[in-house]
Amino acid sequence: MTTLTNWISPGTMQSLGWALLHFLWQGTALAALAAAAMVVFRKPAARYVIGIVALGLMLAAPVATFVSFSQVHVNSTEFVKSSPLAAAAWPIARGNTAASGTTPRVQIRSFDALPWLVEIWLLGVALFSLRSAGGFLLLERERRRQSAVVQDWVLEICYALQDQLGIRRLVQYCESTFLQAPAVIGWFRPIVFLPATALTGLSEEQLRVVIAHELAHIRRFDAFVNVFQVCVETLLFYHPAVWWLNRRIRAEREHCCDETAVALCGNAVEYARALTLMEEWRSAPVFAMAANRGPLSERVRHLLGMNASGDGVRKVGLAGSVLFLVTAAFAGNALFGIAYSKPTAYTGTGPIQVQGLLASATTQPQPVRQAAPAPAAKPSAAQNPQPAERPQPAEHAVSAQSYIDGMKSAGLNDLSADNLIALKVQGVTPEYVRAIHDLGFQPDADALVGLKVQGVTPEYIKELRSLGFKPDVDEIIGMKVQGVTADYVQGLKAVGIQANGDEIVGLKVQGVTPEYVRELRDAGLKVDADDVVGLKVQGVTAAYVKGLRDQGLNPSTDDVIGMRVQGVTPEYIRDIRALGLNPSADEIVGLKVQGVTPEYVKALQSAGFKPDVDEVMGAKVQGITPEFVDAARKHGFQNLTIDKLIQLKHLGILDSKGDI
């Protein structure tokens, strides 16, 4: 099990993995149906609705499949009934069931590659989510930074068109510098952005129809549908059919708004010219409803009534849709064959099987009563086998439920199906449970799975206890995850680090080794567990500590951390002391925090001052610069001290004359 899927139970993970795999054929089938329907219906509004419905079904299909796979206690007939797409992809199993009058047992196979598939999917969803969130944030930032109210004559056009379309919502109209074509941004309080290129490059008639196009988006609430599309793209990013369908939806949406704009303003030719101009300015974020969104040639042909798709193209489209649909059905049937073992007749008297958890549970057939033989013919032993030679149903039931009985004998009662599946998948045996219980722990099923996943053995726990630790289950798992071993703990103790379980984990996480601690102690630092973690986090090395000591300092652990945080180097201390200053460790940190450099001290000394450490920091804090000193002396001030300069600066005496 990989890292990202550790928090998912094995049963849930398997169901999710199978749902993602099944969506490969489900998405193809739904896209094929949508394509066929779009060929039949010619109007953009109908195609748009078909696309939205198909996209919603694409989102619902893996959810329904996940729920169906999660119900491991239902039989295959119930599973097929719960998913129409599954019924289409499992005709052979359903036909055998109907012919025999029996119900096939469900045998869900565990697929080792599913955890990796789920982890890759989770990573993809995370990346696309960050992409979407970043796009929305960038759009909002640019909206705030680069927009202004449009001119009055443009507002009059906008308000008139808004009234004609019957839009009663509050709509803002702004001039934009970060877009090159008109666009709508926002959901509940939409904003129509009109860039300077459109206001100056389009005629008034062209501008009217372009604005009408954007207002049509607002009236249709297209921004909300666009967000839904982005969410589906994020969750089902791995299927090309989702991206194809979203492109079709966006194209049909533009056709719908184009028709509304032309119907309102009545000049399709001028609008086509405006679209051609704006194509040259094309730059609009995917999260905005822009007037130049969509294929230009297709939109122009649609506006001018030039139908590019004849009967031949439509027939090819229908044939392709049928081909994809049939291919998807065969692929779904094959995938069900992988997910489920071959169905066998089930009479309703045995348990439903889950592969690897229960043994075979076929029902013992009842013996057939035979006619009594003739008195003269005495049956031989071979012709009349003894009943004792046949397996007994009671013995078979014990075999079928041995794993469950073993878990009960180990003290785990009332386990759910998910618990049993997770324990079995991870290889938790009754012997393992007893060994953990013998050590004084009473973990539940989830904790046992966690221990087993991380490779915790009873011997490992005994080793930790022999070192003086008394960890609980969570601490044991944490130590094992971080690779804490007995040798590591003994090595730390050998260099004087006495740490509890949490501290040991913290040391290991930060990469603290016994050698690192030994080097720090050799450099003169007396450290405990917390000190070592702080030093390691800040990147303090033994060489750094020795460099500080070579400059005459005897810093404590806190001093070293403080100097490292502020970027104090041995060279900085050497240069400061070469100028006659002798700061302590705290004063060095203060100088560095205030931005005092050796060059600044030299400038004060060149101006005739001999400041100490406090005066240098005070002068820097108050903004005393060499230029300020020169300005003060130009006014004839003599015998100036740092304190007097600070007073002049504080009172603004020189500032009022404009000399600084």
Query: From CA 322, how far away is CA 379, in angstroms rounded?
Result: 65
- Mean pLDDT for the chain? 76
What pLDDT does residue 337 have?
57
Least confident of 375-384, 418-427, 482-491, 501-510: 375-384
Residues 146 and 45 in one domain: no
pLDDT over 90 percentage in the chain: 18
Is 161 inside a domain boundary?
yes
CB 557 within 8 Å of CB 583:
no
Residues 324 and 192 in one domain: no
pLDDT at 120 over 80: yes
Residues 93 and 217 in one domain: no
What pLDDT does residue 438 have?
92
pLDDT at 105 over 80: no
636 CB neighbour count, 10 Å cutoff: 6
Higher pLDDT, 184 or 655: 184
pLDDT at 216 over 60: yes
Is 182 inside a domain boundary?
yes
Per-residue pLDDT reduced to its tens digit, 43-78: 888 999 999 999 999 999 999 988 887 774 344 434
Residues 241 and 131 in one domain: yes
Report the candidate in 454, 58, 440, 435 with the shortest Cα–Cα distance to residue 243: 58
**DSSP per position, 328-376:** HHHHHHHHHHHHBPPP-EE-SSSPPP-TTTS---PPPPPPPP-PPPPTT
- What contacts 196, CB < 8 A, 6 or more positions away? 175, 176, 177
Residues 330 and 275 in one domain: no
Query: From CA 34, how far away is CA 198, in angstroms rounded?
Result: 36
pLDDT at 564 over 70: yes
pLDDT at 544 over 70: yes
What pLDDT does residue 295 have?
58
What pLDDT does residue 137 have?
77
Residues 176 and 130 in one domain: yes
Is 479 inside a domain boundary?
no
Task: Note down the domain range covering 219.
Answer: 116-308
Is 585 inside a domain boundary?
no
Report the candidate in 91, 30, 80, 87 with the shortest Cα–Cα distance to residue 55: 30
Per-residue pLDDT reduced to its tens digit, 623-650: 888 888 888 877 777 777 888 888 887 7
Residues 155 and 98 in one domain: no
What pLDDT does residue 309 have?
52
Which of the four pLDDT bands, split at 50, 70 and 90, describes residue 316?
low
Residues 164 and 302 in one domain: yes
Which segments of 71-151 does DSSP mark as H helices, in order? 76-82, 84-88, 91-100, 114-145
What pLDDT does residue 418 have?
82
pLDDT at 357 over 80: no
Which of the four pLDDT bands, split at 50, 70 and 90, describes residue 87?
very low
Rounded average pLDDT over 364-369: 43
Query: From CA 538, how far away is CA 520, in angstroms rounded?
Result: 14
Is 273 inside a domain boundary?
yes
Which of the four pLDDT bands, split at 50, 70 and 90, describes residue 236?
very high
Which of the four pLDDT bands, split at 50, 70 and 90, describes residue 530?
confident
Per-residue pLDDT reduced to its tens digit, 149-173: 778 888 888 888 888 888 888 888 8
Is 359 inside a domain boundary?
no
Which of the four pLDDT bands, split at 50, 70 and 90, describes residue 568?
very high
Q: Which two tokens stand for residue 581?
A: 């200053």
Residues 71 and 183 in one domain: no
Higher pLDDT, 1 or 463: 463
How many distinct structural domains can be found in the chain? 3
- What contacts 162, CB < 8 A, 6 or more positions away? 171, 215
Residue type for position 615? E
Least confident of 337-351, 519-533, 615-629: 337-351
Is 478 inside a domain boundary?
no
| The model's pTM | 0.45
pLDDT at 80 over 50: no
Residues 94 and 168 in one domain: no
What pLDDT does residue 54 have?
94
Query: From CA 307, how far away is CA 98, in angstroms rounded?
Result: 49
